[in-house]
Structure 1
Amino acid sequence: MAKPPRLSPPAWLTAGLRPQPTPVPWPAVLRAAVALSAPLAVGLATDRPAYGALVSMGALSGVIGDTADAYRMRMLNIAVPQLFGALGVTLGTLVFGQGWLAVVVLTLVALVSGMISSIGAVASVSGLVLLLNAVVGAGLPMPEPWWKAPVLLGLGGVVVLALTLLGWPLRGGQPERAAVAGTYRAVAELFEATGTDAYDERRQAVTASLNQSYDLVLARRARQHGRAPTLVRLLAQLNALIPLLEAAPAAHLAAHRFHRPPPPQIPTAVRALADAVEQGRTGGPEPDLPEARRPSEKAVDEAVRYAATVVRGAEPRAYNVDDGLGRPAALRVRLWRAGRGVLLSGASWRYGLRLALCIGLAQALVSLIAVPRSYWVALTVTFVLKPDFGSVFSRAVLRALGTAGGLLLAAPVLAAVPRGWWDVPVIAVLAALIPAFSAKGYAFQTAAITPVILLLSDVLNHQGFHLVLPRLYDSLIGCAITLVAGYLLWPESWHTRVADRLADAVADTAGYVALAFAPGAGDTDPGARHRARRKLYRDMSAVRSEFQRALTEPPPAGDLAAAWWPLAIAVERIVDATTAARIRVDHGAPAPEPAEVAAVERQLRELADGLRSSEVLVEVRVDLGGDEDGVLAALRQEVRAARATASP
């Protein structure tokens, strides 16, 4: 007798419930425990527990925003949102208990919060804290006069910032060096994976690591005038990886063709360079590499020796540092550009209006219906409706589940622990869970934050265990408002854009093919090819992020994204095959005929046009011809595979 089918929830619904395999950030755990418990202890010692709770709430915002590695970026991530948070709580306090005036003000704050969130990562967190603190100020009684609440909340941010910067004198440049060294180690793992099925995954890891390293180093450089020698060296060491990354596809294809992966001395030498970068060492012996014979082997050999020269050698010349950004514009110019971009951006207005609509509905609802501690409804909307944080639908579901888990954790604490000095060790333990759980996923972060907010708000309200069930109801109401008014009513929320993004990537890949084999491409401005390739991989990294968001959407968006995913992988392989062919030509292989290059470019552009004109997989014609033993053979094979993938 056949067994009945197992009933299990769909993968798109349960994806966020699987904890990410990330290590526990122990320094962040210790900072969170101290930053949230110490102010509460001071407040109790001075007989001002409400003041201590407000400072701890401000510290909570700083703990959530402290996600960067470099110290200068962490200063911005913590300090700038605190300024917006002070403004938000001031506005909220001024309209506390004002009924419909509070609804109007919070709706306008939500519009501004949503619009500025499109500027960048720091602006996104700033917009979030602006709205969160405005909602808290309008929903909780704050100490008089009006300026005390923003000062106390800002003081909490100062506490987190002070704890964060304690290690700056000793580890000022260590995060940047560690990031660059980590990229070298990722490249070593990439070469170990050549010729295996793990190569694609390792290449994606290298792209992510390289993006992070460039962002860290360039963000630090953008805040210094001129060229600091340390930063110039780090940029030169990053740029020295470009030849290695271009040689890797050639080595991978050669390993497939000849069943001969690169010798183990290659990743060993790259790891030795990583250690030198992390420790800031110069000098040292030449890498011990075997004799190179084939074009791909020569490319790898030259790339490793060049990287070793840069890591070990003399001061790098300025023209070797090709970050593509030039000198940063003045702060006034950057603020003007950001403001103009926000006001003229349709996407910025649409997100701002979505957030304003949901907040307005939430506040109007709690103004018409008696909802205990109603500010939690708007808080839930604010946390869930952050498209730049991931799928709105999945975040709503995960928020509800995470809140339920957090309430299960908070219930025995609120029921059994008496208010007073016992709150200090309890807050220290619960606060330590926030950075530990945040790295595991959104539902886990919500489960960790919920009991901390409940305990701190109980210091202000003295509701005890009676807070638990109202919090669950409020969260469910907020999730329902977000799903209807912030998701279902906006088709762009549940219609994936992966086809458009893929079409752009395919068109850029066609341009890269033409650029790589243009007459004189090996002699004139090789940096143009490097920049084009870097842009392609960075764009494909963004496409993967879009895919990850779309895959957590319910059907049909999630199913469509899953259908397009093999084509995204195929596009990356086309870029790799193009680079490998160019490297082979640079090291002695015969150059392809212009007609062959034109045929490949034409096929890619036809594929891009087909993706733009259809929301489903497109019918394609595959006819590339060409010499099956020529330098473009692997490239043509990848193009055929991509076009076959796009066929119904």
Structure 2
Amino acid sequence: MSSLFAPAEGSRPEVLAGLVHGVAVGCPLLVGVAVGAPESGALACLGTYVAAFTNKGGPRGRRTAGLVVAATVNALAFWAGELVTGLFLLALLLLIALVFLASMGEAVHGTVARLGTMPATALLAGAGQAGTGPAAGRPGYAALLVLAGGLWYATATAVLTPTPRLRGVLADVAGPYREAAHHLARTAAATHRADDTGHARTVAALRRAEAAARTLRGPGGDERLAGLVEPLLHRAAELVDLAAALAWTGAPPEAVRREFTAAAAAAADHLDRTARLLTHPGSAPPSPVPEPALAELTRACDALRARVATGHAPYEVLARAGRQRRLLVRIDAATATARHRAAAVAYASGTRLHPGAAPERGFDAARLRAAMTLDSTTYRHALRITAVSAAVFALVGAVGLPHGEWATLAVLRVLRPQFGATLQRAGQRVAGNLIGGTCAALLIAGVSGPAALAVLLFAVISAGFALRPVNYTFWVIFGTPLVLLLGDVADPGDWQAAFERIGMTVIGSAAALLGGYLLWPTWDHDRLAERTAEAGRAATGYLDTTLDRLVRPHDPARPRPALRADEARRTAEGALAKAWASQRQARTEPGHDPAAVASAAIALEGLAELMEHLGALGAHATPAPPYLPGLAEYGAHAPAALTAKSPQERAAHADAVSDVVDGMRLHLAGLHARRLAELEAHGDDDTPTRRALRAGEPVVVLLATIAECVGRLSRRPW
């Protein structure tokens, strides 16, 4: 049940957009009330409502032109719905055509994709409205009101929608800094766990920030602003991996625990304030300087070194404390650089952006023919949703159920290409309708007068559109009262209609589930194994390029190793995200194999852990890598342990990796012994042994952890 209300990842309420829609959608009703024609105002409000769903953003001129087209098409569809009332077969054929075209989307034309199912919605609304209210005896009058509402919406949004500014991009850029701060705070509080999703959330925030910043390099972008923002993204990427590397060093030694906790908490606070500087340049408080906490940690490490020199503490404890201190120093340096750059770019946060319009696909007969095969997911879905919506329309029409158009609308809103997504959407739609419809019934019964309803509608519209990006259930909770209260303007006090429409929504949602199950279903559990294998291959590619960067940082035959590793990482992240999405949907589908789904989840968790370790390893990459015996053999055997065909071959490669790690540990043990002998005479000197340990030990620790992860994955093939 909680998943029905879970916010979408990276989403946030769009309060300003909600207020703009409150004015743009609610104003026609207010005008109608003011001039004594609330029913006409409600029809115009309906026109704004269906136009709002075709608003896909973009440059002002292109957006407004698209909304004018949408208003016209929706008004024509509404008029057609009025005309075909009583002509059941013709109404059915029109519905079939509109639904099929909407489902094919860009395979037909970019405009068709932008209009979506709104023309079909307007057709159903026109059929339900015909012969009632101000349209009675006045053919086409209601359609003109719908057109006027749509044109008003296009005009109002052109005037009220603020021009995009750099602060919107900076708000996205602040995301990875904020998430990295939370990750560090959990590390400081010793609440980081092996199954912690903090790193995954931080990486997802980083990718969203990169996508937002790409608009600065695109058509209509600003190269100067891009030059200011991109270094912030580079620092964010560095901090993401440094935070992961620190988290995987484990708990700090008891001798420095208090100082480590204070230093990590100060670093987290420094990061969080940097994020606030990006989102609220004028109100961000001055950042505390974390050097005192780092100085305390350094003194604690020096005291621990003295105890190790006298044999009162093992050297391994000092080595771990040293690794953690050095990572915190690097985090502090990267954060200080990021804060300096954030302060430099914050002054430009109000700069207007003028992004170019994305190209829109025109009609291409060859592309359409290629898409119209049963091998195409789009075509199968188009056939499925067309058949189910037509069947529901015919059924409720034949039985004569009141408000039957709501059942057909539920099909259009609920049925998705995958059954698991359909099941989730059905739950959200029904839950939202039950909550929103009940609230609407209470409001209809308790509130009289169109003026009070108009004020209520403004609040409902604003809240609904503000929360629409967060979760579909929230939108339905507010969207249902919106439509029901509009209907109450034409038929005051009919609170029973709310429950009739809830019943129609349940029928439509059930029909969508049945159709999704019976008609050319696309099962995620059927493709889960393939997507898990794709994620495994992509993660192996990331492992290979990361190790290659470590083994051969200056190989002329393999230029730009950091860039290749980053490309491999992004490919692996995308493949893993698709596999996780299939796994989540598969476990809700009927007929799935629970053991297979659970096995896939274990494999994906292992791959996610491997990728987090690789990111942490990348944080230790240097132009001159440390000498480590067997590093080349490790780089050859580790990927092979995941890709070899037979279990015996995979096991042999995994054992070879373990043997290489044992050799590296022996090498470190020798360095530890030499360093321990140096401590008394050269405790603070930067000797070659100390430098070798400083560079090599964190790499060996991570390689050992990666070897364990590879060993587990090699026993569970995908």
- Contact 1:90-1:137 within 8 A present in 2 as well: no
- Contact 1:487-1:493 within 8 A present in 2 as well: no
Show CA shifts across 1:138-179 (max 9, x none). 4433661686255234235336625752x54xx722221122
2:604 matched residue in structure 1: 568
Query: Any residues of structure 2 matched to 1:243-642 within 5 Å, and which?
Result: 243-255=238-250, 263-278=264-279, 290=294, 301-302=329-330, 305-306=333-334, 308-309=336-337, 312=340, 335=361, 344-345=370-371, 346-387=376-417, 391-418=421-448, 420-435=450-465, 438=468, 441-460=471-490, 464-493=494-523, 495=525, 497-518=527-548, 521-523=552-554, 524-525=559-560, 526-554=562-590, 556=592, 561-584=597-620, 586=622, 588-591=625-628, 593-606=631-644, 623=655, 624-625=657-658, 626-628=660-662, 629=665, 630=700, 632-642=703-713
* SS of corresponding position for 2:451: coil
The equivalent position to 2:226 in structure 1, one of 216, 222, 231, is 231
Deviates more, 1:14-23 or 1:520-529: 14-23
- Structure 1 pair 566/533, CA: closer, same or farther in 2 (3 Å)? same
- Contact 1:135-1:375 within 8 A present in 2 as well: yes
TM-score of the superposed pair, with normalisation by structure 1: 0.78
How many pairs are equivalent? 607
User: How far has the Cα of 1:265 moved from its partner?
Assistant: 4.3
User: How far has the Cα of 1:553 moved from its partner?
Assistant: 4.0
2:177 is the alignment partner of 1:184: yes
User: How far has the Cα of 1:206 moved from its partner?
Assistant: 0.9
User: How far has the Cα of 1:632 moved from its partner?
Assistant: 2.1
The AA in structure 2 aligned to 1:243 is E
- Contact 1:494-1:557 within 8 A present in 2 as well: no
- Structure 1 pair 584/455, CA: closer, same or farther in 2 (3 Å)? closer
User: How far has the Cα of 1:474 moved from its partner?
Assistant: 2.0
2:102 is the alignment partner of 1:113: yes
1:52 matched residue in structure 2: 41
| Higher Rg | 2
User: How far has the Cα of 1:638 moved from its partner?
Assistant: 1.4
- Contact 1:30-1:432 within 8 A present in 2 as well: yes
2:210 matched residue in structure 1: 214
User: How far has the Cα of 1:380 moved from its partner?
Assistant: 0.8
Distance 2:23 2:330 in 1: 51
- Contact 1:53-1:456 within 8 A present in 2 as well: yes
- Structure 1 pair 573/164, CA: closer, same or farther in 2 (3 Å)? farther
- Contact 2:661-2:704 within 8 A present in 1 as well: yes
Distance 1:302 1:118 in 2: 50
The AA in structure 2 aligned to 1:522 is P
Asked which structure has the greater RCO (Cα within 8 Å, sep 6+), the reply is 1
Distance 2:239 2:481 in 1: 49
Distance 2:117 2:328 in 1: 47
User: How far has the Cα of 1:637 moved from its partner?
Assistant: 0.9
Distance 1:132 1:474 in 2: 15
Show CA shifts across 1:283-325 (max 9, x none). x999755489956765664565356446535999xxxxxxxxx
Show CA shifts across 1:226-281 (max 9, x none). x4322332233113322222333332332359787774443344334334433569
Distance 2:404 2:591 in 1: 33
Deviates more, 1:541-550 or 1:289-298: 289-298
2:167 matched residue in structure 1: 174
- Structure 1 pair 288/118, CA: closer, same or farther in 2 (3 Å)? farther
The AA in structure 2 aligned to 1:489 is L
The equivalent position to 1:205 in structure 2, one of 201, 204, 207, is 201
Distance 1:392 1:312 in 2: 47
Deviates more, 1:577-586 or 1:103-112: 577-586
User: How far has the Cα of 1:113 moved from its partner?
Assistant: 1.3
Query: Any residues of structure 2 matched to 1:38-77 within 5 Å, and which?
Result: 38-61=27-50, 72=58
Deviates more, 1:523-532 or 1:305-314: 305-314
User: How far has the Cα of 1:45 moved from its partner?
Assistant: 2.3
Deviates more, 1:464-473 or 1:24-33: 24-33
Distance 1:315 1:466 in 2: 58
User: How far has the Cα of 1:372 moved from its partner?
Assistant: 2.3
- Structure 1 pair 443/248, CA: closer, same or farther in 2 (3 Å)? closer
2:80 matched residue in structure 1: 94
User: How far has the Cα of 1:91 moved from its partner?
Assistant: 3.1
Show CA shifts across 1:329-382 (max 9, x none). 9955x6269998776451221222222122222223244332323321211111
- Contact 2:524-2:583 within 8 A present in 1 as well: no
Deviates more, 1:493-502 or 1:290-299: 290-299
CA RMSD of aligned residues (A): 4.5
- Structure 1 pair 272/472, CA: closer, same or farther in 2 (3 Å)? closer
Distance 1:205 1:342 in 2: 38
User: How far has the Cα of 1:545 moved from its partner?
Assistant: 3.9
Distance 2:275 2:402 in 1: 56
- Contact 1:82-1:154 within 8 A present in 2 as well: yes
- Contact 1:110-1:356 within 8 A present in 2 as well: yes
1:4 matched residue in structure 2: none
Any unmatched runs of 5+ in structure 2?
299-318, 345-354, 666-699
TM-score of the superposed pair, with normalisation by structure 2: 0.72
